[in-house]
Structure formats: C-alpha cells, structure tokens
Amino acid sequence: MGRKNKVLPVLEGVKITGMAAEGKALARTLVRPEDESPMVVFVPFAAPGDVVNIKLDKKKRSFAEGHIESIVSPSPDRITPLCPHFTVCGGCKWQHLPYAIQLKHKQTVVQDALERIGKITLPEINPILGSKKIWRYRNKMEYTFSDKRWRTWEEIRSGDSFNDTGHALGFHIPGAFDKVLHIKICELQSELGDEIRDFVFKYAESNNLTFYNLKENKGLLRTLMIRTSSTGEVMVCLVLGEEMNYAAKGLLESLKSQFPMLTSIVYVINKKLNDSISDQQIEVFSGNDYIEEEMEDLRFRVNAKSFYQTNSEQAYELYKVARKFAGLDKSVADKPLVYDLYTGTGTIANFVARNASKVIGIEYVPEAIEDAKLNSAVNNIDNTVFYAGDMKNILTDEFIVEHGQPDVIITDPPRAGMHEDVIEVILRSAPKVIVYVSCNPATQARDLALLDEAYEVTDVQPVDMFPHTHHVENVVRLQRRQMN
C-alpha cells in the first residue's frame, strides 16, 4: 500500500509580517509543535498586520504554503476590495491593500531583488512612479467563452438551484485551463468594455449560440478581445471555433448596431487546440483592421495581434524614463547610434528616434517587426531599421561590425531576462550607456550582476504599470566604467 497523505494542520493566530514573490504575503511561525525554529509560510490575499488562522496546503523542507481559513483580527491597512470577483479570478491580488501600500511593497520588491540577487553597488533608488489612474486603466482585455461555468464555493454552498445555462464569458481560473469564471464586471477595463462583454454574452444566450467546450475543442464562440485606445478608438475581435455562419454574422451585425463607436470589428476562425491567434488570419467585419494609439506627436497602429503596453498613460511615463536615461530626451549635435533590443512593435525605437542618428531594433516575432516598420512609416520616421530573429542569433559580433558600434543600448527583455550570450555581445560592443527596462526585477538583478564588470548602475526608477497586481516595471541606467 502507498503512503497515506498526511493531514496538514491549521495554524491559529498567526501574524502576517510582510509581502513576498508573486503577490503572496508571508508569516514566520512554527508549523508543528515539535519544530525547533519558525518556518516561512506563504499566504495569498493576506495583508501585513493581519492575524489569521491558516490552513496549510503544502509543506516543503524550507517553507510552507497555505490559505486564510479565517481572519482573527484584520490589519489596519486592510480595505474592502472593489471587485466582486476578488480572490477567485486571480487577476488582482492586492485589491485589499490601499494603493499607497501597494507602491511601498513594490518599491521594496525592486530594492530587495537588486540588493539580494544583484549584490552590486547601487545608487539611491528613486521613489516608484505610481499610476495616476488605478481603476479602468487597461486598454486590452481577453475573455473566454465556456459551455461549463466555474461555480464558486459560495455559490455551491448556498444551496440555491442554478437556473442559468451554465455558460460563461470570463477568465480562466488560475492553474486550471478548462475552468472559466463568468465575469459580471471588471474594474480594470473601461466601462464600455463591460457593456460590450455583457451585450455579447446576453445576445449569445438569447439566440442559442454555442459556447466553446475546452476539452472537446468544439463550439462557435471561443474568445472575445476588446481593445480601447487613448485616441478613443475601439476594437472588438471575436474568435470563432467554427466557420463563420449566419449566427456569428448576426452577433457581429448586432454588435455594430448597438455600439456605433466601434472603429474596428474583426474576427478569427481558430480550430486549433490552443487559444493563440498569432498564426491565424484576421478577417475584417467592419471598419479598419487596427486602432491607433497616440504618444506625444506619434501615432501607433495596433492590430488584433499587436503587443502594446496595456496601460497607455503609464506606458508614456515608462518610455519617458527610458528616453531620459538614454540621454535622448533632448537633441544633441552628435546624435548617438542606438540599439533597441527586444523592440516589440518598435514603440520605444520610434519614441526615441528623433534624437538618434539611427535606431536598430531587434525582435523575435516577425509580425511585431512588421508593425514596427509600419509605425515608422506612419510617423514619417526614416532612421529606424528592424530585424526579426532570436536575439542571441541576430545580435552577434559580426552584426555589430556590420551595423556599427552602439553608443546607447536600450533593452526590454521578456520576464526571463537576457541570454548570457547576448550579455557577452553587449559587453564586447561597449556602448557608453545601457538602459535596461524590466518587468521582472529578479532576472534584471541577475543580468546587472553580469554587466557589473564593465558597467556601474547610476539610476534606478521603478514604475507601476499595473495597480492592484504584484507586477512592477523597473528602469536602470548603466554607465560604462572608466578602465585603467
């Protein structure tokens, strides 16, 4: 017979003392009476200062994980979350904390990562730039249709009988690809986004359109994307799991009629097992196949596949920091050659181009590079060039010889950070200044340690792009050391 699972205990009267990675709170306590020393316990949706009873879910050798069974006494910092889906949808883990407290913790996350992982000499870290808009700030939301709604424990325990269809249009439950929570309201997107999503759901229900079955890969309605822009333009992208038919056309016609402000209605037919549309054809139903974002005097075209920072207003603040750190916020006689690594759709490259002699952008995704070229053309920018491919294969010593030694490198890698081969090429190319934009301070700190042999950190600026989540962006300026 196999070993029986041990029943993990409930820890009573535990005080939450701080915040940790992935937005969880932490406590240090004895897990079992016979333990000699306290263990770190990670707890989601807790606030420093809470005294709680914790039901353990997992115990490892050096830490444990659990969830709040009950709150004995709440932290003085704890507030009532705005969203009715808080703790279930998984999107906003910090709605129970005042925004000023969220910023304080994000500042600490950046400082701890750079000091503990980077172990390098740092200047004083600038106070985090908070977002002026902390609700309704997202310009893009994606929802999933499901023919089997995820029921919350509160719904199940209520004893009420369910007289709905069991369909859902909402978000995947964290860690469960086949479970979708029906969303009634999302406080992070515009009110118009809520209205569109609600209209689509009610129309589909009233007209008996089939909702997608994730396990069987069948059903007409699969996903819904809503994009808004700072220019007031709005896109709706409906993804179908079956061929376009009379029922789907009826939905799109009704959507167009109900919301005349929509500037782009597009659809995709995706019969694959995964939801990605990056390799699928976008079909235009009404209007343009793009909407436009605006930043200073620049306009950026954003289509259904495009990456664009989801907080438009705060993206502008982030890019201004990067431009200032690069010394490109003002015109100089001797304009620098700039490399923009992981350029995406070329937003930063085009944003800094006017004060550069040339900007060379490199990005893995070919479609993003096409967007970058288009955005340069739309803005009459003629001093940018873009290359698509794996960074470590494109950015080589030979590439540097061919295109010129950079004066400035701006790098904005994915969460995993930069490959060591890329860092080695950067070190050999010896730019005067490196500006490192990161969405993951831990991997940024690791990379800064590798750059430390030739570069010193002169400026650090955290920027909050995503209020009520644990995510934080950080911009670091590095100056080449004077070698003896």
The pairing of beta strand 384-388 with beta strand 358-363: parallel
Which DSSP symbol is given to 117? I
Rg for the chain, CA atoms, rounded: 25
Separation of alpha carbons 92 and 81, rounded Å: 10
272 CB contacts (<8 Å, ≥6 apart)? 280
Q: What beta strand segments (E) does 320-472 contain?
A: 337-341, 358-363, 384-388, 408-411, 433-438, 455-463
Which DSSP symbol is given to 240? E
Separation of alpha carbons 132 and 396, rounded Å: 41
Catalytic residue among 89, 92, 186, 439: 439
Separation of alpha carbons 182 and 169, rounded Å: 5
Torsions phi, psi for 188 (to 5 deg): -95, -25
Which DSSP symbol is given to 6? P
Which DSSP symbol is given to 22? G
End-to-end CA distance of the chain: 69
Return the biggest CA–CA distance within the chain. Answer: 79
Torsions phi, psi for 409 (to 5 deg): -115, 125
Assess whether 89 carries a catalytic annotation: no
Q: Is 296 helix (H, G, I), strand (E, B) or coil?
A: coil
- Active-site annotation, residues: 439
